[in-house]
Amino acid sequence: MNTTTVIVGSSIGGVRTAQSLRLEGYEGDIVIVGAERALPYDKPPLSKSILSGNAEESSILLLTREQAEEAKIQLLLGHAATGIDVAGSLLYLQDHEPLNFDNLVIATGASARPSPWGQRPGIHVLRSLDDCRKLRADLLKGGGLAVIGAGFIGAEAAATGRTLGLEVTVIDPLPIPMSRIFNAEIGQLFGELHRNNGVTTIFGTGVEAIEGEQGSFSVRLTNGQTVQAATVLVGIGAVPNDAWLDSSGLLVDNGVVLDEFCRAVDAPNVYGVGDVARWRHQKHGADIRIEHWTNAVEQASCVAHNITHPDSPREYTPVEYVWSDQHDWKIQVVGRVGGNADHVLIGDPELHGKFAALYTTDGVELYGAAIVNWPKALLACRHGMGSEIGVQELRDKLELLLEPQPTAAL
Amino acid sequence: MPTVKADLHACQGYANCVVGATDYFDLDDDGIVVLLKTKVPEPERSRVTEAARSCPVSALVVED
C-alpha cells in the first residue's frame, strides 16, 4: 500500500512538489534527488542580491535538513540521475543504487547555454550557486565587465555590476534586445534604462571571439570594434536538462513532453515540473515550456494535486508571470507580451517613474501586460488576466490610477 | 487555529499571494502585502499555505 514518489531535481520545482504533496495529504515516501551536493537553494537572487553581496547565501535556502526531516522528505543530494527504466519503474543514479518509484517527477531544470567563444577562467555563465560565487569573486577583483546577451540574466547582472562600481558593457546582436520579449517600442525603454545607469550598450552587433586571458580580455565584435574587460559573462539563454532522458523511451523535444495534466505522454506515472517540462497548455492550444520561477511553483502544486487525485486530475493552464529587477526598475510581466500583439502604454518612465504596457492581439482582449514600478497596476493586470475585462476598460482604470499631477522624476 | 504571518520588510510586491488567495492577501499603494485575515480555518490551510509558499521572497508563512 505504501507508495514512493521520487522527484528528480532539487531546485524550486522539486522542493515545492514535495512540500505540496505533503500539503495534499500524501502519506507515501518522498525522495528528492539532486545532482548538486548543496542543500536546495533559490535561484533568482543569484543575479541580484547574492551576486551583489547584499544578501547571505543562507537566506536563499529552500529546504533545510530540519524542514526536510519534519516533512518526511528524504534528500539524496550529489547524485545525478542518469536514466529511467519506465517499464521497470527504476531511476538510475550516479554512484548510487537505482531507486524504485511508483510516481516519478522530472524537475531537472535547465542549464546556462555554454559560451561558444571558449570556456576558460574569467569567462562565466550564471545559473547555479557555484557559478554565482565564481563570478562574484572575479567581479570583486575590479576591472570592466562585459556581458554578452541582454536577456533578463545578463541585464540583471549588468545592473549588479554597476552597483559594485564596475564599468559594464552589454553586447547583444539585436538592435533592441528586449524587443525579443516586449516589441521594439517598449524594448527601447530598457536600453535607455541601462544607459541612464552608466552601462555602455553595444546593440546590433555580434561577438566574433573572446581573446586574451582573465583580467585582460578583448571581446572582438562583428563590426570590427573591440571591448576590453577583466571579466566576461555569457548570458545567451538556457537549455533544458533532458539529455539524461535519451535512453528512457520518453518523448523528449526541447524538454520532456507532457499532456495537459503534466504527465509524460507515454508514461502516466511520470510527471514533469519547471524549466524541463513541455506540457500541453489547453488555453493556448500548444505545447509550451516556461523557464520562470512562478511557473515552477504553480506546476509543482498542480502535479502534487494530480498525483494525490488520480481520478480528478487538474489541467495546468497558468497565466504566465515573471519579474526582473534591473537598476531601480521592478519589471513584471503578466500573460503573453510581444509577438504579434499591439500595445497601449499608460504612464511614462521619465514623467511618472512607472508605466504599464497592455498587450492585445485583437484590440479587445487583454493578452498580457508589462508593468514597471507600479504595484496597483500589476494587481489590476493580474486580476484582469483571469477575468473578462477588456483592454480598453483596463486602460481607463489604470489612467484613473495614474497620479493626476505628475511629479517630475529624474 | 493556524495563523498567517507576513514579513513586511521582505515583501517586494510580486502579488503571487494575492493571485493565490485573494480573500487573504492584498497589496497597498506601495506594493506591500496587506493581510485581510490572519486566522486560517483548517479546511483552508492547504490553499492559503500554497499561496504563502508562492511568495518569491518567503515573506509569508502559515504557522500553527
A57 burial (CB, 10 Å; 0-12 / 13-18 / 19+) is: middle
Compare A410 and B38 and report the one with higher pLDDT.
B38
Q: CA-based Rg of chain B, rounded to a whole angstrom? A: 10
Asked if pLDDT for residue A407 goes beyond 60, the answer is no
Confidence of residue A284 (pLDDT cuts 50, 70, 90): very high
- What share of chain A has pLDDT > 90, as a percent? 94
Contact B46 A24 (CB under 8 A): yes
Of B35, B42, B7, B5, the residue nearest B21 (C-alpha):
B35
Cell digits of residue B63: 504557522
A281, A287 in Cβ contact below 8 A?
Answer: yes
Q: Do A379 and B46 touch (CB under 8 A)?
A: no
Q: What is the pLDDT of residue A404?
A: 58
Residue A180: the pLDDT is: 84
Domains in chain A, start-ordered, CATH in brackets?
A: 4-111+245-308 (3.50.50.60), 114-235 (3.50.50.60), 328-401 (3.30.390.30)
Identify the band that residue A137 occupies on the pLDDT scale cut at 50, 70 and 90: very high
In this complex, is the C-beta atom of A61 within 8 Å of any C-beta atom belonging to chain B?
A: no
Among A56, A302, A379, A403, the residue to mutate for chain B (most B Cβ within 10 A): A379
Average pLDDT over residues A97-102: 98
Distance CA A288, CA A362 (A): 22
Q: pLDDT tens for residues A200-221? A: 999 999 999 999 999 999 999 9
Give residue A388's pLDDT band: very low, low, confident or very high (50, 70, 90).
confident
Mean pLDDT of chain A: 95
Q: Assign A304 to helix, strand or coil.
A: helix
Query: Mean pLDDT over residues A340-344, rounded?
Result: 91
The pLDDT tens digits along chain B (64 residues) read 999 999 999 999 999 999 999 999 999 989 999 999 999 999 999 999 999 999 999 999 999 8
A297 vs B contacts (CB less than 8 Å)? 16, 53-54
Rg of chain A taking only CA atoms, in angstroms? 22
Predicted confidence (pLDDT) at residue A15 exceeds the cutoff of 80: yes
pLDDT digits (tens, 9 = 90+) for A148-194: 999 999 999 999 999 999 999 999 999 999 888 899 999 999 999 99
Domains in chain B, start-ordered, CATH in brackets? 3-63 (3.30.70.20)
Nearest to A375 among B31, B49, B50 (CB): B31
Q: Give the rounded percent of residues in chain A with a pLDDT score beyond 70.
A: 98
SS3 A395: helix
Residue A1 pLDDT > 90: no
